[in-house]
Amino acid sequence: MYSILIIDDERAIRRALKDILELENYTVYEATDGKDALNILKERSVDLIFCDLKMPQMDGIEFLDKYSEYSSARVVMISGHGTIETAVECLKKGAVDYIEKPLDLNKVLSVAKVNIVKNPNNIPKPNKPQKQVKQNNSQSSTIIIGESKPIKKMLAMIDKVAPTDAKVLITGGNGTGKELVAKMLFEKSLRNKNPFVELNCAAIPNELIESELFGHEKGSFTTAIAKQKGKFQLADSGTLFLDEIGDMSLNTQSKVLQAIQEKKILPVGSEKEIQVDVRIISATNKNLREEIDLGHFREDLYHRINVIEIKVPDLNDRREDIPLLIDYFLSSLAKESNTDKLKIEKNAVKFLQSFDFTGNIRQLRNIVERLTILCDKVITENDIKNYL
């Protein structure tokens, strides 16, 4: 499990960030200023740091000067008082990003995901063998839990579509498991020995996404100190997963459409096109039909990426799967922490089956993890009511 340190003197900001990040299964620590944060970093390691700019005792700039003595984690600055000059100063001192207040929580999640993945010092824990409650066949190592009709229908669609080169659009709410569907499509495809490359379109600034997708030549822009391959080229002969494609700018949409149609890309600063062969899988939590009507998404690109649409059901529409999911999470969490698996009373399970899950599976896992920490041996209905 990855950990994040939030440094901000405003309790409300810390609480909002903590709540949204914990829903994503991050372990979150809090500090009221830079000095408090350094004391925390002396005791424990973290994978990412969100740091406010203006704070008492030790502000964000001073923290940037000192934190590297204790941690190699990436730092993302947040501020409601910043200017372009202060943002540049933070980046020069080692910050990897700068987010203005009021905070866009979706952007916070995207920035967290990208920077934890990119952190070269962040080595994920090896996967441990899990009890597979539901796995469609031996060709896929990705686990999708469920026996409900919506899940069986979705898995049947994956089995039918995966061996083809058809472009797939995965739709569904936040926390439903769209990324798992993309990985299962890849693992069951004929391209599964070749690269699977992901890009979160919401996490990359508009001015950089073209370089991320198509690559760039050395010197093509200020920070292009070396030639770099883009995601299309890295995914050549394999699969490119464009997550949150509904957040892609219209200008970038036009270039992606051209790349898909012509199977060629033009790196930034280059005059030579490169032939690519990729299968495109996209995902979004937005209604792209509505985005088209609003002028936010190109209809021609929509038809290109949506040869097959796979809708991932909300947890509220597959409540019969909740007992299986709870059991799976209890087993996984016990193995992760090397502790005995907690039991859960039937009434407690029924109570969770009646709960309104706005955050879908991600929210359910967060609840189960909280209960495993706070409860002893058996989880009761009263425990859930007390800790929910």
Dihedral sign, Cα of residue 221, residue 225, residue 230, residue 233: positive
The reported pLDDT for the residue numbered 50 is: 94
Same domain for 347 and 273? no
The reported pLDDT for the residue numbered 312 is: 97
Q: Is residue 98 in a domain?
A: yes
Residue 105: which CATH number? 3.40.50.2300
Strand-pair partners of 343: 378
Residue 173: which CATH number? 3.40.50.300
Between CA 330 and CA 366 the distance in angstroms is: 11
* Phi, psi angles (nearest 5°) of residue 286: -95, 160
Total residues belonging to the chain:
388
Strand-pair partners of 274: 265
The reported pLDDT for the residue numbered 124 is: 43
Residue 375: which CATH number? 1.10.8.60
The reported pLDDT for the residue numbered 125 is: 39
CA-nearest of 200, 189, 172 to 279 is: 189
Q: Is residue 130 in a domain?
A: no
Q: Is residue 124 in a domain?
A: no
The reported pLDDT for the residue numbered 139 is: 52
Contact 47, 122 (CB under 8 A): yes
Contact 240, 278 (CB under 8 A): yes
Same domain for 113 and 202? no
The reported pLDDT for the residue numbered 81 is: 66
Instruction: Tell me the whole-structure pTM to 2 decimals.
Output: 0.65
Same domain for 309 and 326? no
SS (H, E, C) 307-323: CEEEECCCHHHCHHHHH
CA-nearest of 182, 12, 27, 170 to 105 is: 12
Q: Is residue 29 in a domain?
A: yes
Query: Residue 337 sits in which domain range?
Result: 316-387
Cα distances (Å, whole numbers) of residue 354 to 128, 151, 325, 351, 367 = 31, 19, 14, 5, 14
The reported pLDDT for the residue numbered 123 is: 44
DSSP 143-155: -----SHHHHHHH
Q: Is residue 127 in a domain?
A: no
The reported pLDDT for the residue numbered 126 is: 37
Question: Which residues of the chain carry a pLDDT beneath 50?
Answer: 120-121, 123-138
Q: Is the peptide bond before 102 cis (omega within 30 degrees of 0)?
A: yes
CA-nearest of 279, 268, 287, 276 to 304 is: 279
Domain boundary among 118, 139, 174: 118
> Helical H runs in the chain?
11-22, 34-43, 60-66, 84-92, 105-118, 149-161, 178-187, 206-214, 231-234, 250-262, 288-293, 299-305, 322-337, 346-353, 360-374, 381-387
Domain boundary among 262, 286, 313: 313
Q: What's the token pair of residue 173?
A: 């709410």
CA-nearest of 176, 208, 368 to 283 is: 176
Same domain for 182 and 287? yes
Between CA 205 and CA 228 the distance in angstroms is: 17
Q: What's the token pair of residue 202?
A: 């919401």
Q: What's the token pair of residue 41?
A: 């970093």
Domain boundary among 270, 296, 313: 313
- In the chain, how many domains are there? 3
Tens-place pLDDT, residues 55-102 = 888 988 899 989 988 888 999 988 876 566 677 778 778 888 888 888
CA-nearest of 86, 81, 186 to 141 is: 186
Same domain for 191 and 274? yes
Report strand pairing: 97-100 vs 48-52. unpaired
Cα distances (Å, whole numbers) of residue 240 to 229, 259, 261, 287 = 14, 12, 15, 21
The reported pLDDT for the residue numbered 119 is: 57
Dihedral sign, Cα of residue 11, residue 13, residue 14, residue 18: positive
Same domain for 331 and 381? yes
